[in-house]
Structure 1
Amino acid sequence: MTATSLSSQSSASSASSARVKVRGSRLVLYTFLVAITGLFLGPFGWLVVSGLKTQAELASSPVRWLPEAFQWHNFTDAFHQIDFLGYTRNSLVIALIYATLVTLSSAWVGFGFARLTAPGKKTLFGILIGSMMLPQIITLLPTYLIFAKLGMVDTYWPWVLWGLSAAPYLVFLFRQFFAGLPRELEEAAIVDGCGFSRMFWQIFLPQSWPVLSASFVIAFTWTWGDYIAPQLLLSSDRSTLAVAIMTAYNTPAGQPVPELQAAASVMYVVPILLIFLVAQRGFVAGMSTSGLK
């Protein structure tokens, strides 16, 4: 056997061993990802199962993992017992208003922090980022008093003002993205006579669609899932689906009906899942590109 054949056999053996190692590492990785996926989907799966049980099965001890018979009527009962479409419309209006306005305002503020120079800019940005550490409960009472003085309680104006005020986390995302764009773009725009406002709307904002998509999904989810602000600021007729699910499914004695709450919660989650499935590519791209610089 020649040296050449021995060398080729050794190379083939090494390649085969490398392929086995790669397959083994992929198998471990896939197993880990499946386990993590199951961990995250477990609560939602339990919610679906709970929506298909009777009240007695939900209260049984020991816990019944599966219902004896699937109670599909829980979903129709949950839909018809309250004005489900009306509360859904209220939630959509508030979420769309806030998500649209806060995405644009955060993009504008992030552009300023990324591309403009001014004394104290780094200090202001540090204060902005630090404000994310403030719990919402601390500002809840002052916020309510301000809106009550302005006559904005039981209206959607608070969400308009919140949207126009930008959000620190979204400002951070846009600032990171805009800071990573080449300086030549800005210089060429200035040479062509563009001001910073026109530069933002015509050059920088159209290129930021991944961050726009991610910011819109995040802001929409924040508002759709918020319970405290609608409960505090809105009457029952103008309130959102989150508040209705927690307060409207009661017996005449005032006791909650858990199986209807679970069924309504499943339907409540569906719009968020659909929005994420539609915008997931932009969401992932936005979250990744915002951390480049």
Structure 2
Amino acid sequence: MTLSRRAAVYMILVCVLVLLLSPFVWLGITSFKAPSELRAVPIHWWPHEPTWDNFRQALTRFNYLGYARNSLMIAGIYAVLVTLASAWAGFGFARLNAPGKRIVFGVLLSTMMLPGVVTLIPTYLLFAKVHLVNTYMPWVLWGLAGAPYLIFLFRQFFSNMPKELEEAAIVDGCGQIRIFWRIFLPQSWPVIATSLILSFSWTWGDYLAPALLLDDDRTTLAVKLATGYATPSGAPLNNLVAAGAVMYVVPVLAIFLIMQRGFMSGVATSGLK
């Protein structure tokens, strides 16, 4: 690649990076602006007097930490359960033999093409029949059912693990359950980290399911952020919305920074000569 072509590629990448980061930069700048600066003409691109009071008001205008606790509980429970359930299902598809396994796996993958919003109303009616509306049990059941994409990830990972690991465990008298818990699952930290990050992010940022299934006291922070920062007449307080949104992404960034170490561990061939 010539120098001029490489410079052109770098310029394109920089432009794409700027386009991707500009909404987040603007959100962060807006979170420090006073209300008067949001209505100023011409637009003030940078706050003249940055204020931290927006974050204080964002926390106190409603029970921000209480709704954050609800979101954290739902997202944490779902992330752990769906990771374990998907890992177990992926292990079965990868290492166990059963009639019709390929057909079942194909049907499972086909469900990824079905948008979740299509099944939301039937799901609500089903949960209403068994009196699980306004409880956190739907997220427990969804977690125990696994997620097709995560099952696919675990299945692909377990399929590539050396067969010698399994054969050595069988010689030592291990059954399939013990093989999964003692050998395969500890080696799958890269996929576990990916699953925890994705499933936590899905649930933390979900708006439709909590809005449909939970009342105002039990709902999540994602739902409350949509309606919690407004004047009595209904006009949005954009500076508080921005401050609340900045704090809203902190848990997702935190779990990503914690779990990213898992990508560097869990080599499947560890312990083999």
By the TM > 0.5 criterion, same fold?
A: yes
Shift of 1:61: 5.6
Residues 225 and 284 of structure 1: CA distance in aligned 2, closer, same or farther (over 3 Å): farther
Cα separation, 1, equivalents of 2:208 and 2:16: 30
Give 1:199's match in structure 2, choosing from 166, 179, 185. 179
1:147-158 correspondence to structure 2 within 5 Å:
147-158=127-138
List per-residue Cα deviations over 1:80-131 (Å, max 9, x = no partner): 1111111111111001100000000000000001001112211111111111
1:180-199 correspondence to structure 2 within 5 Å:
180-199=160-179
**Structure 2 letter corresponding to 1:85:** L
**Residue in 1 aligned with 2:74?**
94
Q: Is the 8 A contact 2:189 2:263 kept in 1?
A: no
Cα separation, 1, equivalents of 2:227 and 2:165: 53
SS in structure 1 opposite 2:249? helix
Cα separation, 1, equivalents of 2:164 and 2:251: 41
Cα separation, 1, equivalents of 2:228 and 2:148: 34
**Residue in 1 aligned with 2:148?**
168
Q: Is the 8 A contact 1:96 1:220 kept in 2?
A: yes
Residues 128 and 284 of structure 1: CA distance in aligned 2, closer, same or farther (over 3 Å): farther
1:60-71 correspondence to structure 2 within 5 Å:
60=40, 63-71=43-51
Greater Rg by CA: 1
Shift of 1:25: 8.5
Q: Is the 8 A contact 1:214 1:284 kept in 2?
A: no
Give 2:226's match in structure 1, choosing from 242, 246, 263. 246
Shift of 1:48: 0.8
Cα separation, 1, equivalents of 2:110 and 2:263: 24
1:206-245 correspondence to structure 2 within 5 Å:
206-245=186-225
**Structure 2 letter corresponding to 1:114:** A
Q: TM-score, normalised by structure 2?
A: 0.89
Cα separation, 2, equivalents of 1:284 and 1:201: 20
Provide the identity percentage: 58
Residues 148 and 244 of structure 1: CA distance in aligned 2, closer, same or farther (over 3 Å): same
Cα separation, 2, equivalents of 1:101 and 1:284: 23
**Residue in 1 aligned with 2:32?**
52
Q: Is the 8 A contact 1:52 1:67 kept in 2?
A: yes
Cα separation, 2, equivalents of 1:58 and 1:159: 39
**Structure 1 letter corresponding to 2:231:** T
List per-residue Cα deviations over 1:124-172 (Å, max 9, x = no partner): 1111111111111100100100111111111100000000000011001
**Residue in 2 aligned with 1:264?**
244
Q: TM-score, normalised by structure 1?
A: 0.84
Cα separation, 2, equivalents of 1:70 and 1:223: 33
SS in structure 1 opposite 2:168? helix
**Structure 2 letter corresponding to 1:158:** P
Moved over 3 A (4+): 21-39, 54-64, 283-286
Cα separation, 1, equivalents of 2:152 and 2:234: 45
Shift of 1:282: 2.2
Give 1:137's match in structure 2, choosing from 104, 114, 117. 117
- Contiguous gaps of at least 5 residues in structure 2: 269-273
Residues 207 and 119 of structure 1: CA distance in aligned 2, closer, same or farther (over 3 Å): same
Shift of 1:55: 3.7
**Which protein is richer in helix relative to its size?**
1
Shift of 1:256: 2.2
Cα separation, 1, equivalents of 2:2 and 2:241: 47
List per-residue Cα deviations over 1:210-263 (Å, max 9, x = no partner): 111111011111111111111111111111111111111121223322221111
1:17-32 correspondence to structure 2 within 5 Å:
none
Residues 26 and 270 of structure 1: CA distance in aligned 2, closer, same or farther (over 3 Å): farther
Shift of 1:31: 5.7
**Residue in 2 aligned with 1:103?**
83
Q: Is the 8 A contact 2:74 2:203 kept in 1?
A: yes
SS in structure 2 opposite 1:52? coil
